[in-house]
Amino acid sequence: MEPLHDSAALPDDRLSLEQRSDGAVLVRVRSAGQGKDKLPDAVFAFRCGDPQYAYWLERLSGQAHSRSRQLPSS
């Protein structure tokens, strides 16, 4: 059975990823609405053992790796 949605389809500019001190990965998807039609952000936390934890941890690591490549060298 194929997944209904591919999380990679979420634009990176709407995603915020961070790892909490307890190891959980926090995923925030900013709402695309505007004005009073704007919905609240969607926030998810994934912990080790959750089915999607490894995916989001890898995506967080990839994000950190791409940021470090963008830093100017001194």
Percent of the chain with pLDDT strictly greater than 70: 74
How far is 45 from 33, CA to CA, in rounded Å? 22
Domain holding 45, by residue range, is 16-30+41-69
Residue 58 lies in a domain: yes
How far is 12 from 58, CA to CA, in rounded Å? 14
Residue 25 lies in a domain: yes
Residue 64 lies in a domain: yes
CB 26 within 8 A of CB 18: yes
CB 16 within 8 A of CB 60: no
Distances (CA, A) of 20 to 17, 30, 32, 36: 10, 19, 25, 31
Q: Which residue has the higher pLDDT, 41 or 32?
A: 41
pTM score, two decimals?
0.70
Q: Which residue has the higher pLDDT, 37 or 64?
A: 37
Does 58 have pLDDT greater than 90?
yes
pLDDT band with cut points at 50, 70 and 90 for residue 45: very high
Domain count, the chain: 1
Q: pLDDT value at position 52?
A: 95
Residue 6 lies in a domain: no
Residue 49 lies in a domain: yes
